[in-house]
Amino acid sequence: MSLLLAALALQTAAPDPVVGLCRFDVAQLSFAGSPAEQARCLMQPVGKRGALAASPKRLPGTLSRVMAGRVPLPSRDVVTHLLAAERMDIGGVDQPVSRARDGDPTAPLARYFVIHDTSTPYYGDEPFPADIDGDARVNSFRPYFPANADPEKFPVAHLFLNRIGQVLVGQPLSRPWRATKLETRVIGLPAKGLFLHVETVMPRRRDPAIEGWNDAIAPNPGFSARQYDRLAILYIALSVRAGGWLIPAQHATMDHGLPQAHDDPQNFRIKDFDRALHRRLRALRRD
Ligand SMILES: [Zn+2]
């Protein structure tokens, strides 16, 4: 191969520097636009099988102010007390979160708060339990912590949040960890550590209208009230560890357009999250 051909081959092999629905720029380690623009793209409603609805023209009030930098980050002390009062153990807020480029000390700290649903347990053609939020099988963390599993693959996320609001650490928040195809298959190593992953427990069923195995039916509403409340606390606490407000994202919007893209989280309502965030921030200001 001539030098010119080799150079051309190298060029075609290089990854596209701007990728995905929300145009991730590998050099900048950021999606396109201001934090508010990124959040609007990454938080557009995810429908059945990952179909996206148009994003709202603007973010709801609290998130909009947060993304505009108009809400100060609460102090470590205040958030430490909040976590203790709510009996949430995420490893404290004194240590920073992971850094991008697989923990490169010169790389930025994590910037994105990625919301998933576990799509577990799977009920197949059976109905969901009557009390979907309180059901013991639904709320069990056991499936996410399999015995003798490969520690490089499991647990699959930093945090797990069930429908009664319990939180369990899967991977330390300081550990660079990837959980989407955009990170593993497209961006590669630079992405590792830039994203913090939260799995929210949500059962699934088979949609009989779709041939073959599928888990397309999710509960609606998808998230319990406790999950929105706890997610708001986690969003605040992880932002404090990151030293700045994280940008919320969803697995499905990150992976949209990639082969075998995931459809989670289903039925996430940004207004409900915004209300929960508003309540928690207001309570912190009063303390
Ligand atoms: Zn996911």
Domains located in the chain, CATH noted = 35-48+56-144+153-286 (3.40.80.10)
Res. 31: pLDDT tops 50: yes
Place of tokens 């201001």: 34
Task: Compute the distance from residue 113 Cα to the ligand 1 centre, in Å.
Answer: 12
Q: What crossing angle do the helices spanning 225-242 and 270-286 adopt, rounded to 10°?
A: 60
Which of the four pLDDT bands, split at 50, 70 and 90, describes residue 17?
Answer: confident
Q: How far is CA 77 from CA 73, 81, 245, 269, in A?
A: 12, 6, 17, 30
Predicted local distance difference test score (pLDDT) of residue 219: 97
206 Cα–ligand 1 center, Å: 18
| Distance in Å, CA 193 to ligand 1 centroid | 16
- For ligand 1, the distance from its centroid to the CA atom of residue 195, given in whole angstroms, is 12
Distance in Å, CA 88 to ligand 1 centroid: 22
Ligand 1 centroid distance, CA of 215 (Å): 13
Question: Between β-strands 18-19 and 167-169, what pairing exists: parallel, antiparallel or unpaired?
Answer: unpaired
Tokens 């303390």 locate to: 287
The two structure tokens encoding residue 35: 């934090």
pLDDT band for position 215 (cuts 50, 70, 90): very high
- Chain-centre distance for alpha carbon 139: 19
Question: Residue 180 Cα, ligand 1 centroid: separation in angstroms?
Answer: 7
pLDDT tens across 229-287, in order? Answer: 999 999 999 999 999 999 999 999 999 999 988 999 999 999 999 999 999 999 999 86
* CA 115 to centroid of ligand 1, rounded, Å: 7
Tell me the pLDDT of the chain averaged across its residues: 94
Quick one: which H or E segment has residue 249? Answer: strand 247-250
d(CA 36, CA 68): 7
Give the distance (Å) from ligand 1 centre to CA of residue 7. 37
Lowest mean pLDDT across 44-48, 52-56, 73-77, 102-106: 52-56
